[in-house]
Copies of this chain bind each other. A is one copy, B any other.
Amino acid sequence: MAGRARYEELIRQLSAFGAVKREMSRVMPAECPGGSGAVLALLGRHGDMRMSRLAELLAVDMSVTSRHVAHSAERGWVERSPDPADKRSRILRLTPAGRAQLDELFERTTRLLADRLSDWTDDEVGQLTLLMTRLRASFDDCRPAQSRPPAPPADGRATRTPITTK
């Protein structure tokens, strides 16, 4: 358990963190806003899935997810095919065009980070990523849990706060 001063300083940093995200979004192609980018990134990482699962990964209401996905689908980046097992559901899949767009996003953001973080060592970047991942996991653990998967097989530098199915 950390001291109050620690928390307050962390709060300040969290609060001021918007600036970094804003600068990241400024290098994104105008046609692809952040919401769509997040959709593509998650589909690229986790593969095909349903709306509800995507909403959970985005940690956002499904109504919001629906709009982001609609935007992506309109541009041909995502395909929504009916789920044969449940006609209410739709299976989302990244199209080749979506994959290309995703590559472009990573290309741009990676270039930005490589520029800004040129004086960071590989290990320092890894450290920050690890701690941010863990922070997010610590918050996730306390969510109204829908269908949190039982300890997703941590893939390398994954979450240090193991997820227990409640």
Residues of B within 8 A of A2 (CB): 114, 117, 120-122, 124-126
Q: Is chain A's interface secondary structure helix, strand, loop, or mixed overall?
A: helix
Number of A residues near B (Cβ < 8 Å) is 62
A122 to B3, Cβ gap below 8 A? Answer: yes
Chain B's nearest CB lies how many Å from the CB of A125? 4
Choice from B8, B16, B20, B34 contacting A110 with Cβ under 8 Å:
B8
A11 to B106, Cβ gap below 8 A? Answer: yes
Q: Given that A6-B126, A122-B6, A138-B119 are contacting pairs, would A12 and B45 also be in contact in the complex, using a CB cutoff of 8 Å? A: yes
Binding site for B on A (CB under 8 A): 1-4, 6-24, 34, 37-38, 41, 45, 58-60, 106, 109-110, 113-122, 124-129, 131-133, 135-136, 138-142, 157, 161
